[in-house]
């Protein structure tokens, strides 16, 4: 039977595709440290149904919470941010709080001591933990600096305090942001709007948790981790990188992508993707396409419809310059993949040499895991702050910012940024060398029991076990 002292761990990721893989990987590491530990993964029915458990997955239990998006005016079956338009996001965040009674009743039905590890966006679970005598940790699937700055902006709305284009964060004055780094919905925030209200609820709940776990590496993010420790005043453990396991795939589409890569020289191909939710606008698409053509380098572009349009409505030829795809195919120069690409496998391929990314945290970790440098184009959320971090690490050239009408990009800038990162320039060599260093630091964090993330997770578990004894 279950050891009375070992807690039953309840993992509760937010309802977003990009938030789930790190939680799954966390389950793998928990089992490695405590074989036989009871772990339950809690989510909504559709999300649980679409989980592809990694080959190395330990036996985790799944528990579905009933969720009725239609009750909140959202499309039936919309159980993840990826199913929605950007303008529905705030409604979805608010609707996610309706899971509380069902979550509470699930936790109260567990007989052994419980340890809840919940996504930051489900920080309200800290109240459930208190009421039910459970221990509680908030898990941040992103980076420490990105989250710390993101939360700080919601608390202080510094851009509303100052007229200029640049402003220091009131609580972290060393961090100076530019107006172009404030996401659209943040820029419109007044303090009395639903976004600010939601994130201020998240932040005050984070102050009630027992511990914060972060998908990063202690040695790589001392500043961001300090900022989180100051913000929440609780023990904060860096337990990353927690990477998505490449899903086994034998789909015809995936095979042809890999074969296309096979036909190119090592480290020659630029991979381009803006994640599972974001996209750029039509003017930017034109300039990106022509800039890639002008760069003269092979590229593999995961193509999503322009910002604001629904991928389910199909793809229109006019989104790309006339003849572009044919010219690229004829010259064996570029491949445009519509929809979903096997990103982890693409980044692992020897022909891939750099990644043009929206700076989502999973994408950053997956790229640097293979020592691949970045061309940055942050588009929303904390991506702007993730970009600041990787630029500071020396592994990224930030090429563009945002996808509003005012964020124009020219083809020459695209060609130049790609040439800088991939070419035989001093800057390019330096960027690639540093990406290799980060890859080694990331690997070291989980190398043997002495790696810093292994030590942190062990430390966290001991705290939990002591508290339930
Ligand atoms: N991803 C993928 N294929 C795609 C687009 C994205 O496999 O065509 C995966 C990618 O490998 C990463 C995740 O989706 O694990 C995206 O997470 P990230 O944090 O980079 O961005 P988000 O989608 O959350 O903005």
Which of 21, 275, 385 gets mutated to test ligand 1 (max ligand atoms within 8 A of its CB)?
A: 275
Q: Is 431 in the pocket of ligand 1 (CB under 6 A)?
A: no
Alpha-carbon distance 454 to 130, whole Å?
28
Q: Which atom of ligand 1 is nearest to the CA of 142?
A: 19
Q: Which atom of ligand 1 is nearest to the CA of 363?
A: 20
Q: Is 244 in the pocket of ligand 1 (CB under 6 A)?
A: yes
In whole angstroms, how far apart are CA 384 and each of 37, 47, 146, 344? 38, 28, 8, 22
Q: Is 344 in the pocket of ligand 1 (CB under 6 A)?
A: yes
- Name which residue sits closest to atom 2 of ligand 1, judged by CA: 343
| Tens of pLDDT, residues 141-191 | 999 999 999 999 999 998 888 778 999 999 999 999 999 999 988 999 999
Which of 360, 368, 384 gets mutated to test ligand 1 (max ligand atoms within 8 A of its CB)?
A: 360
Mean pLDDT score, 336-342: 92
In this structure, the chain runs to a length of 469
CA of 29 from ligand 1 middle (Å) equals 21
Q: Is 366 in the pocket of ligand 1 (CB under 6 A)?
A: yes
Q: What is the ipTM of this complex?
A: 0.99
Alpha-carbon distance 148 to 155, whole Å?
11
Reply yes or no on whether the pLDDT at 198 is more than 70. Answer: yes
- β-pairing, 299-303 vs 211-214, is unpaired
Backbone angles phi and psi of 416, in degrees to 5: -70, -45
Q: Is 277 in the pocket of ligand 1 (CB under 6 A)?
A: yes
Confidence of residue 1 (pLDDT cuts 50, 70, 90): very low
Of 84, 225, 71, give the one whose Cα is nearest residue 142. 225
Which of 343, 355, 389 gets mutated to test ligand 1 (max ligand atoms within 8 A of its CB)?
A: 343
Residue the block writes with tokens 């003849």:
323
| Tens of pLDDT, residues 344-395 | 999 999 999 999 999 999 999 999 999 999 999 999 999 999 999 999 999 9
Structure tokens at 83: 């199913």
pLDDT at position 248: 67
Rounded to two decimals, what is the model's pTM?
Answer: 0.96
| Tens of pLDDT, residues 264-296 | 999 999 999 999 889 999 999 999 999 999 999
Q: Are 158 and 170 in contact (CB under 8 A)?
A: yes
């Amino acid at each position: 039977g279950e050891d009375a002292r070992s807690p039953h761990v309840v993992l509760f990721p937010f309802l977003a595709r990009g938030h789930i893989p790190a939680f799954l990987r966390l389950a793998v590491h928990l089992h490695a440290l405590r074989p036989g530990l009871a772990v339950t993964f809690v989510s909504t029915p559709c999300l649980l149904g679409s989980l592809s458990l990694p080959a190395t997955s330990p036996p985790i239990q799944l528990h579905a919470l009933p969720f009725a998006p239609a009750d909140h005016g959202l499309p039936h079956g919309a159980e993840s941010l990826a199913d929605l338009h950007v303008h529905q996001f705030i409604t979805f965040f608010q609707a996610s709080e309706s899971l509380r009674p069902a979550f509470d009743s699930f936790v109260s039905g567990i007989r052994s001591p419980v340890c809840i590890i919940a996504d930051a966006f489900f920080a309200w679970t800290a109240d459930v933990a208190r009421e039910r005598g459970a221990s509680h940790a908030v898990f941040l699937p992103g980076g420490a600096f990105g989250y710390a700055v993101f939360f700080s902006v919601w608390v202080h709305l510094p851009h509303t305090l100052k007229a200029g284009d640049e402003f220091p964060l009131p609580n972290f004055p060393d961090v100076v942001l530019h107006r172009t780094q404030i996401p659209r919905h943040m820029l419109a925030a007044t303090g009395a709007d639903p976004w600010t209200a939601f994130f201020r609820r998240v932040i005050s709940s984070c102050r009630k948790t027992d511990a914060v776990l972060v998908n990063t590496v202690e040695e790589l993010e001392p500043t961001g981790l300090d900022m989180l420790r100051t913000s929440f005043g609780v023990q904060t453990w860096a337990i990353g990188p927690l990477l998505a396991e490449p899903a086994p795939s034998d789909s015809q589409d995936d095979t042809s992508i890999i074969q296309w890569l096979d036909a190119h020289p090592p480290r020659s191909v630029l991979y381009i993707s803006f994640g599972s939710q974001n996209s750029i606008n039509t003017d930017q698409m034109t300039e990106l396409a022509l800039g890639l053509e002008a760069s003269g380098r092979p590229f593999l572009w995961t193509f999503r419809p322009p910002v604001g349009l629904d991928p389910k409505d199909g793809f229109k030829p006019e989104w790309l310059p006339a003849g572009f795809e044919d010219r690229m195919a004829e010259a064996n120069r570029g491949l445009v993949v519509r929809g979903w690409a096997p990103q982890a496998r693409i980044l692992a391929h020897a022909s891939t040499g750099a990644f043009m990314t929206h700076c989502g945290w999973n994408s950053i970790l997956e790229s640097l895991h293979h020592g691949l440098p970045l061309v940055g184009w942050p588009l929303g959320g904390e991506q702007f702050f993730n970009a600041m971090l990787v630029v500071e690490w020396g592994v990224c050239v930030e090429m563009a910012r945002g996808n509003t009408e005012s964020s124009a990009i020219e083809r020459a800038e695209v060609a130049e940024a790609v040439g800088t990162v991939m070419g035989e320039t001093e800057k390019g060599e330096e960027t690639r060398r540093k990406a290799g260093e980060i890859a080694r630091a990331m690997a070291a964090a989980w190398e043997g029991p002495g790696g810093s993330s292994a030590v942190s997770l062990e430390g966290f578990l001991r705290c939990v076990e002591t508290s339930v004894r």
